[in-house]
């Protein structure tokens, strides 16, 4: 392919992987040569050679609620734009959760990182996940030693209630779902 495009093998490699420092005209020339030769990338070989799967996992207990579906859509959009794949793990029952944790040791062969959405692992479960050597990120909770995005629901409720009181309201209630999500 390098001979066909009249560039170096390294340039072909960089162009086909979408890396920087390849002029657009050169990248086009390499892609045209690949097309003429009927070449297509072998993703499994590429992933094996690089030691990365270019795949991120997302695990959550509920996918049938609006919040989780919005999280999944947002994560997928960002990963897709970055050229990464998303694999979803459902842990909707205690049995499924335990199966997932029991297989955690093999995660590093399938994913490069794992997003925990409202997973709320106990310390032993965190330890199980850490043994997989996959980077962890938590959404909806704080996970010591790992990237986390969460809000303080109690403080948010207190502030909203105080705002209503400041406006003169005296009859204030809450309608919510399970305790874990309130």
**Residues 153, 96: Cα–Cα separation, whole Å:** 27
Surface-to-core class of residue 67, CB atoms within 10 Å of its CB (0-12 exposed, 13-18 middle, 19+ buried): middle
Instruction: From 125, 117, 136, select the one nearest 180 (Cα to Cα).
Output: 117
Q: For 137-182, how does the pLDDT look when each residue is reduced to its tens digit (9 = 90+)? A: 999 888 999 999 998 888 999 999 999 999 999 999 988 766 554 4
Tokens of 58: 């997302």
Q: What are the chain's domains? A: 2-41 (1.10.260.40), 52-149 (3.40.50.2300)
pTM for the whole structure: 0.67
Residue 53 contacts residue 47 (beta carbons within 8 Å): yes
Task: Report the C-alpha gap between 138 and 124 in whole angstroms.
Answer: 16
Three-state DSSP at 91 gives coil
Residue 43's alpha-carbon distances to 46, 51, 54, 98, 113, in angstroms, are 5, 12, 10, 31, 18
Phi, psi torsion values for 16, nearest 5 degrees: -75, -25
For the chain, report the end-to-end CA distance as a whole number of angstroms.
58
Asked whether the predicted pLDDT for residue 47 surpasses 80, the reply is no
Judge contact between 157 and 174, C-beta under 8 A.
yes
Task: Spell out the alpha helix ranges (H) of 17-148.
Answer: 24-37, 43-50, 66-81, 94-102, 123-131
**What are the tens digits of pLDDT across the range 68-110?**
999 999 999 999 998 889 999 999 999 999 999 999 888 888 8
């Amino acid at each position: 392919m390098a001979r066909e495009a009249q560039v170096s093998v390294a340039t072909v490699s960089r162009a086909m992987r979408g890396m920087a420092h390849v002029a657009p005209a050169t990248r086009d020339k390499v892609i045209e040569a690949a097309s003429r030769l009927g070449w297509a990338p072998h993703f499994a070989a590429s992933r094996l050679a690089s030691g990365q799967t270019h795949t991120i996992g997302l695990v959550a207990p509920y996918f049938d609620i609006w919040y989780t579906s919005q999280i999944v859509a947002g994560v997928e959009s960002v990963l897709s734009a970055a050229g990464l794949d998303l694999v979803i793990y459902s842990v909707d029952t205690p049995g499924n959760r335990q199966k997932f944790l029991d297989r955690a040791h093999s995660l590093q062969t399938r994913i490069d990182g794992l997003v925990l959405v409202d997973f709320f692992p106990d310390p032993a479960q965190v330890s199980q996940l850490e043994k997989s050597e996959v980077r962890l990120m938590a959404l909806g909770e704080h996970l010591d030693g790992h990237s986390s995005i969460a809000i303080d629901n109690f403080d948010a409720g207190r502030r909203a209630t105080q705002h209503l009181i400041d406006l003169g309201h005296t009859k204030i209630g809450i309608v919510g779902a399970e305790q874990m999500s309130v």
